[in-house]
Structure 1
Amino acid sequence: MFYSILIILAIIIAIYMGEKLDINTGLVALALAYVIGCFVLGMSINDLLATFPTKLFLVIFTLALFFNFAVVNGTLEKIAQLLLYRFQKQTKWLPLILYFITALVSGMGAGFFTSVAVMGAIAMALCKSSGMNKLNASFAVSLGSLSGANFMYSAHGVLFNSLLSNTAVAEQADLLTRDIFVVSFIYPIFIMLVLMFFDRKNSQMTDLNIDRPEAFTKNQKVNISLIILLMVFVLGVPMLSKFMPDNETMQFINARTDITLLALVFAIAAYILKLAGDKPKEVMARIPWSTLWLVSGVGMLIDVAVEAGTIDMLASMINNMPTFIVPVAVALIAGVMSIFSSTLGVVAPLMFPMIAGIIDATGYSASLIAVAIIIGAQSSALAPFSTGGSLILGNSGLNEEESKKFYNDLLYKATPLGLGFAVVATLILMFIL
């Protein structure tokens, strides 16, 4: 018990120091993992270093490296502008259209952070020109960025699969990753419809007047082809291997098809083809190094927590709640934690290992608990001091007074609404998953 309490305090200290002293939370977590793991739990240095999440590190690095070409050369932004141009007369459905476009951009490799930055700026500009409700636009961008990134072969999806593969439900990792994506893509559609319904009387939207974007450049066309080709490899090879179970060559290729390493090969091809134009260094500069160290450092501290029995203790505390409220409690705990910390770096690594203990004690499916963790954690993405909320607020282009009002709207309206939607979705999913 003492060790578990010490680990929980260490996680709180790491988050607090990260926020207050502007130090990467992952670096603080790594230092605390060393002190507690080696000097309190008696782990050897080799045992501690073995907890470094090498696969996770490579997943984030290689996917970001490849898809950064599409960001640097403007491919993804041009795709978004072209789609908005195509649908500019359907302003009544603009929040929902914005959601789908953002999900597509995010799923094609932009990921959450880039999608929020790019689409957030576009959305705020659209609010000014069309009269679209800023909160609705914020939900569309945030939820779209998350649902696209949660695609099984996009940034978050691959990361979730990697994390789940290191837990007691490893054999279900592919299924759980798929269910997380499906739910996180579908339930925001209902959220957007509800928001649009209640905003219909106050809506001041007018038709847009967007000029047709310039045609794709040669580099952008090649970039799109590479992205499609990568997806064909990642999705097509496993499918062919199932249709050709006796073909040794196909099975050999399938066993060695990995999106992490394929992305690196395609990134090298993009370098050779000079798809970044005269900005090749910007591709590497855009690697989310802070996220890499956040995920790695906290991941090591979580492994030390597993060694100390903390995960089992927390799972036991949740299991002592009335069984019928466990999924909702899981979603709420994940949501509140995510207001102050990262879903990828803290919430998922901490709570995924609890899934096995929770389902054994309650009888719920692993899919329900895994989905509740993620939709709960991602429900508070619009909190103004979280990455999503701060990026949208920063791109709002509002004056000081308007910016303060928008800040309060994000904190006191969008955040509770997001948590409420996650709770309702979890209650419904209890009868489905």
Structure 2
Amino acid sequence: MFYTILIILAIIIAIYLGEKFDINTGLVALAFAYLIGCFVLGMSVKELLATFPTKLFLVIFTLTLFFNFAVVNGTLEKIAHLLLYRFQKHTKWLPLILYFITALVSGMGAGFFTSVAIMGAIAITLCKSSGMNKLQASFAVSLGSLSGANFMYSAHGVLFNSLLSKTAVADQANVLTRDIFVVSLIYPIFVMLILMLLDRKNSQIAELNIKKPEVFSKKQKINISLITLLMVIVLGVPMLANFMPGNETIKFINSRTDITLLAVVFAIAAYLLKLAEDKPKEVLARVPWSTLWLVSGVGMLIDVAVEAGTIDLLASLINNMPSFIVPIAVTIIAGIMSIFSSTLGVVAPLMFPMIAGIVGPTGYSASLIAVAIIIGAQSTALAPFSTGGSLILGNSGLGEEESKKFYNDLLYKATFLGLGFAIVATLILMFIF
């Protein structure tokens, strides 16, 4: 129990120091992992260093490096504008259209942070010109960015798979990652429809007048081709292996097809083709180094927590609740944690190892608990001091009074609405999974 309290205090203090003194929380967590692991639990330095999440580090680095070319040369932003241009006559469905476009941009490689920044600015501009509700637009951008990023072969999806592969449910990692994506893609559609229905009396979206974007440049077309080719290889090779299990050549290629390493090859190709035009250094600069250290440092501290038995203890505490509220409790705990910390850096690494401990005594499926963790954690992404909310607020371009009102809407309306929707979704999923 002492070790558990010490680990939990370390996580809380790491988050507090990170926010208070603007230090990367992962670096603080790394320091605590060293002090607690080596001097309290008696781990050797070699054992501690072995907990560094090398695969996770490479996943985030290589994928963002490759997809940053499409951000730097404007390919993804032009795709978003083109799709909005195509659908501008359907303003009645604008919030839902905005959701799908954001999900596509995010799933094509922009990931959560970039797509929120790009689409958030576009969405608020559309709100000003069309009268669309800013809260609906914010939900569309946030949920769309998350659902796209949760695609099995996009940033979050690959990271979730990597994290799950280190737990006691490693054999189900692919299935759980798929289920997280499917649910996080479908349930926001109902959220958007409900929000649009509730606001139908006030919603008077005017006709849009979006100019036709310029045609894609030669390099942008090549960039789209590279992204498409990467997705075809990653998705197609395993499918071929399933259809032709006896073909040794395909079996050999499939066993060595890895999106993390393929992304490096494609990134080098993009460099050689000069797809970043005159800004090649920006591609590397845009790699989310702070996220990398956040995920790595906290990941090491979580491994120390596993060594100390903290994860099993926390799972048993959840299991002491009445069985029927366990999935709801998981959703709420993940949602509250995510208001003050990162889903990727803190919530998923901390709670994924608990899945096996919760599933055994309760009889719930691993998919239900994994999905509850993620939709709970991502439901509060619009809190203004969370990443999604802060990015949308920061790119809103609103005046002081409007910005203050929007801040309150994000904090007191969007945050609680998001968590409420996640709870309802979890209740429904309890009858499905």
TM norm. shorter chain > 0.5: yes
Distance 1:369 1:160 in 2: 14
Matched, 1:247 2:230: no
Counterpart Cα distance in 2 of 1:204 and 1:333: 37
Task: Give the match for residue 162 of structure 2.
Answer: 162
What is the alpha-carbon distance in structure 1 between the residues aligned to residue 253 and residue 231 of structure 2?
15
Separation in 1, partners of 2:71, 2:291: 18
Identity of aligned residues (%): 86
TM-superposed CA distance for 1:104, in Å, is 0.1
Q: Which residue of 2 aligns with 1:283?
A: 283
Deviation at 1:262, TM superposition (A): 0.2
Counterpart for residue 92 of structure 1:
92
TM-fit CA distance, 1:247: 1.1
Summarize the alignment of residues 128-277 of structure 1 with structure 2, pairs less than 5 Å apart. 128-277=128-277
Cα shift readout 1:394-427 (whole Å, capped 9, x = no counterpart)? 1111111110000000000000000000000000
Deviations along 1:67-118, whole A, 9 cap, x unmatched?
0000000000000000000000111000000000000000000000000000
| Alignment RMSD (CA, Å) | 0.3
Residue 327 (structure 2) aligns with: 327
Letter in 2 for 1:112: F
Per-residue displacement from partner, 1:27-50 (whole Å, max 9, x unpaired)?
000000000000000000000000
In 1: Cα distance, 2:194 partner to 2:207 partner: 22
CA distance in 1, matches of 2:397, 2:2: 49
Q: Which residue of 1 aligns with 2:346?
A: 346
Q: Which blocks of at least 5 consecutive residues in structure 1 are unaligned?
A: none
Q: What residue in structure 2 maps to residue 368 of structure 1?
A: 368
Q: What SS does the aligned partner of 1:36 have?
A: helix
Tell me, in whole angstroms, the C-alpha distance in 1 between the residues paired with 2:196 and 2:221.
Answer: 35
Alignment of 1:19-30 (within 5 A): 19-30=19-30
1:213-264 C-alpha deviation (Å, 9 max, x unpaired): 0000000000000000000100000000111111111111000000000000
State the Cα distance separating 1:204 from its structure 2 match.
2.5
Query: 2:32 aligned with 1:32, yes or no?
Result: yes
Higher mean alpha-carbon deviation, 201-210 vs 130-139, is at 201-210
TM-score, normalised on structure 1? 1.00
Distance between the aligned counterparts of 2:109 and 2:431, measured in 1?
Answer: 33
Letter in 1 for 2:368: L
| Cα deviations by residue, 1:314-333 (Å, 9 ceiling, x for unpaired) | 00000000000000000000
> What is the CA-CA distance between 1:66 and the residue it aligns to?
0.2
- Give the total of aligned pairs: 433
For 1:306, the equivalent position in structure 2 comes to 306
Partner of 1:51: 51
CA distance in 2 between counterparts of 1:128 and 1:2 reads: 54
Deviation at 1:275, TM superposition (A): 0.2
Structure 2, unpaired ranges of 5+: none
SS class of match (1:398): coil
Q: How many Å separate the matches in 2 of 1:407 and 1:8?
A: 30
> Counterpart in 1 of 2:399?
399
Q: Distance between the aligned counterparts of 1:104 and 1:204, measured in 2?
A: 26
Runs of 4+ in 1 over 3 A off after TM superposition: none
Correspondence for 1:102: 102
Give distance in 1, aligned partners of 2:68 and 2:332: 34
CA distance in 2, matches of 1:115, 1:217: 21
Counterpart of 1:148, as a letter, is G
**1:148 offset after TM fit, Å?**
0.1
Scaled by the length of structure 2, the TM-score of the pair is 1.00
Q: What's 1:430 paired with?
A: 430
Residue deviations 1:286-324, cap 9 Å, x none?
000000000000000000000000000100000000000
Name 1:118's counterpart in structure 2: 118
